[in-house]
Amino acid sequence: MTEQDWSRPLPTRDVYSAYLVEYGAEAVDRERFVRDLSRFGVQEEPDAEGRRFLTCL
């Protein structure tokens, strides 16, 4: 997967979509994807409208 610019929160939908395109059939489900990222200090949080964003801590 290409490197992300973690200087600002990124929509989970966009990051996960890029991951799916790159890994296709080998991709893990969204829940596992977010859980795996949390091991590297990337946290998912909702905004005021309920959209989910990934933020590097």
Give the model confidence (pLDDT) of 29-47 as tens digits. Answer: 999 999 999 999 999 999 9
Separation of CA 14 from chain center? 7
Q: pLDDT-derived band of residue 57, with 50, 70 and 90 as boundaries?
A: confident
Q: pLDDT-derived band of residue 54, with 50, 70 and 90 as boundaries?
A: very high
Q: Supply the pTM of this predicted model.
A: 0.86
Beta bridge partners of 46: 52
Cβ atoms of 10 and 53 closer than 8 Å: yes
Cβ atoms of 11 and 51 closer than 8 Å: yes
The average confidence (pLDDT) of the chain is 93
Cβ atoms of 42 and 57 closer than 8 Å: yes
pLDDT for residue 18 is more than 80: yes
User: What is the rounded CA–CA span in Å between residue 57 and residue 19?
Assistant: 20
**Res 1: pLDDT:** 55
